[in-house]
Structure 1
Amino acid sequence: MTEGRRERADAVRNRHAILLATEELLALHRPEQISMEQVAAAAGVGKGTVFHRFGSRMGLMRALMVERALALREAVTTGPPPLGPGAPARDRLLAFLDAVVGVVARNKGLLAALGHAATTAHKPEEDPPGAHPVYQFWHGHITALISEECSDLDAEVLAHVLLGALQSDPILRLLEQEGGRRLADSLRTLAAALLDASATATEPRIGRHP
């Protein structure tokens, strides 16, 4: 292996180790409680390596979220149903909500931290809430599935409502105390109720005049 290829392999290995260490720390602490020094020590690399690759703690958190979200995006676009193509929109929606909760539960507080950064680290017109590409993809996918299943619903707003629950302090505390199963079940119940209510409202009234 040439020196250049060895350096690239080392860089890939270090990146993986840093992101894995960050995720493991996030299982125990909120993002603001984690230092770059802690991440470096857990990953077995120098602090300078972490700063060089990610720039800041928020840069590291963003990179981790994007990494995990890309894996979910691949499952959505090319994976097997019900998360991937080939299942009814309703089943795909419920499976996707389960998967999103799984990502957030493994990285407690990360989505909220990204949302907070979007509203405080930049001017609103430069980086409005929800502008992060991870949120944009999640919101767009949920919107599309709701629209496909129930075209009469305001899918765009409902997608914000479903995702907004993941950024609240009570929900973050619930994830810290109990993990994601209870939240996933509740989101599924909420989404199913919305779809069922819409379907009932649009059913033809047999034997009755409009």
Structure 2
Amino acid sequence: MRADAVRNRGAVLAAADRLFAAATDPDQVSMDDVAVAAGVGKGTLFRHFGDRLGLVRALHAERGDRLRAALAADQPAGPPAERARHLLRELVRFKRDNRVLTLALENAGNGSPYRAGSYGQWHSLLAGLVAEARGPESADYLAHVLLAAVRSDLVEHLADWSDERWDAGLTALTRSVLGDAT
């Protein structure tokens, strides 16, 4: 990429980041708003990202990369249930901290989070933990079930839950699926 293209892409992502962080609803952030906030033409947005969904995916991927790096550096040792609970807890925190952006992404695929780019990565990690605890037979399905417990629409529905309440629920879920984490 040319230097100005890299600069424009960075400006667009920074502007989109600010706008999504300030919004209360994903539909409040338009491509026009992002272009104005980034100080670029609308054509620049479409050249770099294709459409609004491409922009949302790029921003979510950037934030998700930071989460994956943090999880890789801070993965607890211990049984698979404990590691799965840690992963799910961090996904809930990520979705709460990035509420509008994750809702926009999960709602963009015809309301399906399964089409989000990061879904496959999280599923693969959880399927590995399930296979380690229970064997490979049902690992694929159970990983989908575990991820359903942290869908953005559920996190939004339970927005008033404390971290402690989430942790209790995730502990019960992971223990029931993977065995006792203690």
Q: TM-score, normalised by structure 2?
A: 0.74
Query: Is 1:64 the equivalent of 2:59?
Result: yes
Structure of larger gyration radius: 1
Aligned CA distance change for structure 1 residues 116 and 73 (closer, same or farther; 3 Å): same
Is the Cα–Cα contact under 8 Å of residues 49 and 55 in structure 2 kept in the other structure? yes
Summarize the alignment of residues 36-47 of structure 1 with structure 2, pairs less than 5 Å apart.
36-47=31-42
Could you tell me which of 3, 10, 17 is aligned with 2:11? 17
Task: Report what 1:190 is aligned to.
Answer: 169
Give unpaired runs (5+ residues) of structure 2.
none
Does the 8 Å CA contact 2:84/2:174 hold for their aligned counterparts?
no
The amino acid that maps onto 1:94 is R
Question: Which residue of structure 1 aligns with residue 86 of structure 2?
Answer: 95
Distance, in Å, in 2 between the alignment partners of 1:35 and 1:61 is 11
CA contact (8 A) 2:102 2:152 kept: no
How does 1:76-115 map onto structure 2 within 5 Å? 76-77=71-72, 79-82=73-76, 87-88=77-78, 89-115=80-106
- What's 1:158 paired with? 142
Higher relative contact order (CA 8 A, sep 6+): 2
Greater CA drift, 129-138 or 101-110: 101-110
Deviations 1:106-132 (A, max 9, x none): 332444433433337xxxxxxx86133
2:107 — aligned with what? Answer: 116
- Give the TM-score normalised by structure 1: 0.66
1:40/1:47 contact within 8 Å kept: yes
Unaligned runs of 5+ in 1: 1-6, 121-127, 201-210
Once residues 163 and 109 of structure 1 are traced to their aligned partners in structure 2, the CA distance between those partners, rounded to angstroms, is: 19
Amino acid at match of 2:31: M
| Letter matched to residue 9 of structure 2 | R
The percent of aligned pairs where both chains have the same amino acid is 40
**How many residues in Structure 1 have an aligned counterpart in Structure 2?**
177
Is 1:40–1:50's contact at 8 Å kept on the other side of the alignment?
yes
User: In the alignment, what sits opposite 2:117?
Assistant: 133
- State the alpha-carbon separation in 2 of the partners of residues 187 and 151 from structure 1: 27
Which of 21, 27, 32 lines up with 2:27 in the alignment? Answer: 32
Range with greater deviation from structure 2 (145-154 or 65-74): 145-154
Structure 1 residue 165: Cα displacement: 3.8
Counterpart selection for 2:130 from 139, 143, 146? 146
